[in-house]
Amino acid sequence: MFEINSPLNNSWIPVAVDSDFPIQNIPFGVFKTQRSEPRCCTRIGDTIIDLAALAENGYFDDIEMDSSVFYSSTLNDFMSCGKSVTSKVREQIALLFNSQNPEFPNQQKSEILYPADEVLMLMPITVGDYTDFYSSIEHATNVGKMFRDPENALLPNWKHLPVGYHGRSSSIVVSGTDIHRPKGQILPAGVENPIFSPSRLMDFELEMAFITNRSTELGDSIPVENAEEYIFGFTLFNDLSARDIQKWEYVPLGPFLGKNFGSVISPWIITLEALEPFRVEGPVQVPEVLPYLKTTGKRNFDINLEVYLQPEDSSPSLICQSNHKYLYWNIAQQLAHQTINGCNINSGDMYASGTISGPTENSFGSMLELSWGGKKDIHLADGQTRKFIQDNDTIIMKAYAQNGSVRIGFGDVITKILPAK
Ligand code: CA
């Protein structure tokens, strides 16, 4: 049987050693060129592959599907075909571009393949509903220590359920979108009444988000054991946060305007299938969780996460190295909990993990934690320091699972913070 994820596979399309997109990855996205309308695509090395053009040339004829889903400006219809179809498409791409198979004739290459630097990558999905979880025990503990009580950093519910809130989908945008510093009410230290001001404490949150591929009926719950069947894949997610707006507004109902002025994702959705070789067990959960949340086996993923801060006219500095495997609550538990009350879901919904911090100080996934509430300087390679994001700083996030020679990457999430409008 053909093993798509085998490290032995090579493509007839050139792939650099450090590429995020070897033939084992086969991510999905949406692109357009100066001449063409948006279409669904995948990528090998630095080559964008037009899936609609592959279909036009008959390469998906053996798969029972409506290939018009590829002529779309989003992946929603493709994802909604379900895994029985999307997995076959992935397998067919892995075969077509395998170095054991012949290269396409030049005429077809010119119709199907594009250099990555000649296309524009678009927002890959229309996000329906958006949930932001809070599933890293290190992050929740750090924030609890800073904002509340160091002795009781975790609230009593935290180890019993994956805490989350419903966010806003309209402001989720694709990498490369600049975000203006938000304005709002803040309460500076020592002041009795709030003032209106651009946020002074702009931050990123290093997260990953999963996307669902089908709907459920109102009243239904997704069993934790089946939850991954409803998940198409992951994207890398920068949940920009204004800590001063957040701090003043969040009691009693939770995050609001401090969180919804821009969240940025990578242009690529990486399938769960591509991440199969990188499964690891999550942290042991004590106390034992209720039966509807109980999972067995390897439910976390060994995905390296990095954050770089690049001041204007300078080079990027690595300021955080974390990993998806640290998450206390896994994606199956998150989706089971989301629906346990009968809340229905749809294809194209997005579920972010919450900031993914690790156990060491260099693995904290936000500047709030890296600067410990603004008490410590974060040192950059060019000698500058930061506590929070300054105007015209660019935040670059990277994610990749690596297994010997194979690197399954997510593409960069690049966000420049512009001055307040
Ligand atoms: Ca968040």
- CA 206-210-211 angle, to 5 degrees, is 140
The answer to whether residues 181 and 40 belong to one domain is no
The answer to whether residues 116 and 39 belong to one domain is yes
Cα of 25 from ligand 1 centre, angstroms: 26
The number of CA neighbours under 13 Å toward the Cβ of 399 is: 29
Domain assignment present for 259: yes
The answer to whether residues 274 and 394 belong to one domain is yes
Q: What pTM was computed for the model?
A: 0.97
The answer to whether residues 229 and 355 belong to one domain is yes
Identify the CATH number of the domain in which residue 320 sits: 3.90.850.10
Domain assignment present for 4: no
The answer to whether residues 42 and 181 belong to one domain is no
Cα of 194 from ligand 1 centre, angstroms: 24
Domain assignment present for 310: yes
CB 72 within 8 A of CB 39: yes
Identify the CATH number of the domain in which residue 48 sits: 2.30.30.230
Domain assignment present for 168: yes
Domain assignment present for 19: no
CA-CA distance, 388 to 179, in Å (whole number)? 15
35 falls in which pLDDT band (50, 70, 90)? Answer: confident
The answer to whether residues 110 and 138 belong to one domain is no
Structural domains counted in the chain: 2
The answer to whether residues 158 and 190 belong to one domain is yes
Residue ranges making up the domain that contains 264: 130-418
Q: What is the pLDDT of residue 404?
A: 85
Cα of 363 from ligand 1 centre, angstroms: 16
Which residues are CB-neighbours of 2 under 8 A, at least 6 positions away?
A: 91, 94, 95
Domain assignment present for 391: yes
* Residue among 139, 160, 324, 379 flagged as catalytic: 139
Q: In the beta sheet, which residues pair with residue 300?
A: 280
User: Which of 51-55, 149-153, 204-208, 363-367 has the lowest average pLDDT?
Assistant: 149-153
List pLDDT tens digits, range 90-119: 999 999 999 999 999 999 999 999 999 999
Domain assignment present for 379: yes
Cα of 176 from ligand 1 centre, angstroms: 19
The answer to whether residues 289 and 155 belong to one domain is yes
Domain assignment present for 20: no
Active site residue 379: no
